[in-house]
């Protein structure tokens, strides 16, 4: 993709640099519209991002209950990044407005991770999970019910 893009821009420059008045303007506007196209080439969907969040939510649990605090901290960081992706790529969806309702629970589970306290972690995890569901209810996706995982679906990962 990048290789062809370079070629395309080179052809554009050659075709526009023949000294004609306005050639530069044409070039700039073409590059501009190309830039816009690239921006929209890959735009992850709301559900796709949520599926990613679900994976990290699961691993967060197994990280925490197994005292793997580095992993737990990594997973909460990944969840945060995906929430930011929602803001960036799905700002036009009305559901995105409710995103900030989960921030306090993310912050409080971070504190439990930092203090390496399994019992506190478990409580905060349940609260976070309830908040996932609260948002699903608010956005009329109440049929998507998130729970505390009872088994590790990732048999290829040790905690
Ligand atoms: C801002 C509100 C909001 C929050 C907070 C939220 N969700 Fe969602 N979630 C949604 C919406 C809206 C959908 C439906 C997305 C769609 O249109 O595909 C969804 C869908 C999902 C899906 C279904 C994805 C699929 O395609 O099968 C899962 C799984 C999910 N969420 C997990 C979670 C988890 C885990 C959390 C908490 C860590 C969470 N969600 C927090 C709004 C939210």
pLDDT digits (tens, 9 = 90+) for 123-135: 999 999 999 999 9
CATH topology classification for 46-138: 1.20.120
Would you state the pLDDT for residue 136? Answer: 98
Binned at pLDDT 50, 70 and 90, residue 36 comes out as confident
**Residue 35 confidence (pLDDT):** 80
How would DSSP label each residue in 97-134?
Answer: GGGGGGHHHHHHHHHHHHTT-HHHHHHHHHHHHHHHHH
Question: Is residue 1 over pLDDT 90?
Answer: no
Of the candidates 28, 34, 32, the one whose C-alpha atom is nearest the C-alpha of residue 5 is 34
Q: Where in the chain is the domain with CATH 1.20.120?
A: 46-138
Ligand 1 contact, 74 CB (< 6 A): no
Q: Whose CA is nearest to atom 10 of ligand 1?
A: 136
Are 75 and 56 spatial neighbours (Cβ–Cβ below 8 Å)?
yes
- Is the confidence at residue 6, as pLDDT, over 90? no
State the Cα–Cα distance between residues 151 and 130, nearest whole angstrom.
19
pLDDT for 20 beyond 70: no
Quick one: pLDDT band at residue 37, thresholds 50, 70, 90?
confident
Can you give the pTM of this predicted structure? 0.83
pLDDT at 98 exceeding the cut of 60: yes
Mean pLDDT, residues 18-39 taken together:
78
Q: Which of 45, 47, 105, 130 to mutate to test the pocket of ligand 1 (most atoms within 8 A of CB)?
A: 47
Amino acid 41: pLDDT? 77
**Helical axes 69-89 vs 46-65, angle rounded to 10°:** 170
* Mean pLDDT across 11-35: 73
Q: Whose CA is nearest to atom 14 of ligand 1?
A: 47
Asked whether residue 47 carries a pLDDT value surpassing 90, the answer given is yes
Please say if the pLDDT value at position 150 is more than 60: yes
Alpha-carbon distance of 54 to 132, in angstroms, equals 10
């Amino acid at each position: 993709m990048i290789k062809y893009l370079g070629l395309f821009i080179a052809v554009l420059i050659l075709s526009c640099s023949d000294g004609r008045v306005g050639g530069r303007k044409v070039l700039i506007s073409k590059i501009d519209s190309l830039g816009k196209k690239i921006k929209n080439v890959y735009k992850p969907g709301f559900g796709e991002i949520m599926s990613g969040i679900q994976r990290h939510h699961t691993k967060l649990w197994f990280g925490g209950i197994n005292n793997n605090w580095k992993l737990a901290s990594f997973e909460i960081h990944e969840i945060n990044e995906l929430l930011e992706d929602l803001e960036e790529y799905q700002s036009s969806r009305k559901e995105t407005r409710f995103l900030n309702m989960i921030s306090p629970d993310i912050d409080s589970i971070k504190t439990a991770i930092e203090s390496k306290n399994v019992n506190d972690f478990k409580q905060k995890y349940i609260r976070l999970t309830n908040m996932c569901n609260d948002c699903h209810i608010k956005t009329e996706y109440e049929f998507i019910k998130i729970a505390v995982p009872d088994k590790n679906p990732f048999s290829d990962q040790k905690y």
